[in-house]
Amino acid sequence: MDYRLVLFDFDGTLADSFTWFSHVVNDAADRFGFRRVAPQDIDMLRGKGAREIVAHLGVPFWKMPAIASYMRARKANDVAAIGLFDGTAGMLQQLREAGRTLAIVSSNSEANVRAILGPDTAALVHHYGCGVSVFGKAAQFKKALRHTGISAAQTLAVGDEIRDIDAARTVGIAFGAVAWGYTLPEALQAQRPQFIFHTMNDITAALTPPR
């Protein structure tokens, strides 16, 4: 399939923010009254989907918007400590040069995303759908399709979480899972995505014509 539109998740897919997240999640737990994450539970949680994680931590759904807002604000304060994965900027540049339309759909804020990308790399992205609720990506995927005028059949979503796969399936979009993000690769593989990417070069190879 010649995918014309690529919808990227941000945290854990393009941005290496897991270490930052692991340092601040218990501050959020104390502030909003959900279960703290013990070090020995991290790998277990990385093997689960978002709904299972929310249930395990005892997060009330009605608190989730406030928690998301708090985390975005914390990230804005710490944005200088969060970088892109090695090869991200080059991969995005190569996709643009190959004529792909790029979008980012993220629960992070657009300001944070642009700051971490840097101005040159941010300019490669055609559409930003940011500030998305935990389970709101499907609606933002549809919005990106309308905005770009590109069909679901010509679109690939790329992300690192099971909820990303679920959102893509809801909209009828193919999915490529990255093996370096928040969710363990074997948990993503069990969801049978169209692609498993182990390096940034794998994304480039799948989405650009051979030279």
Q: Quote the pTM value.
A: 0.94
pLDDT by 10-residue block (mean), the chain, 211 residues: 93 95 94 93 92 92 92 93 96 97 96 96 97 90 96 97 96 97 95 97 91 60
pLDDT at position 211 is 60
Helical H runs in the chain? 18-32, 42-46, 50-57, 64-77, 88-97, 110-117, 119-122, 137-148, 162-171, 185-189, 200-207
pLDDT at position 163 is 94
Q: Residue for token digits 């005892």?
A: 58
Domain 5-16+83-208 - what CATH class?
alpha beta
Domain coordinates in residue numbering, the chain: 5-16+83-208, 18-81
Inter-residue contact 159 to 8 (CB < 8 Å): yes
Pairwise CA distance, residues 102 & 139, whole Å:
17
Q: How far is CA 157 from CA 52, 69, 194, in A?
A: 22, 24, 10
pLDDT at position 148 is 95
Pairwise CA distance, residues 169 & 165, whole Å:
6
pLDDT at position 105 is 97
Strand partners, 176: 158, 195
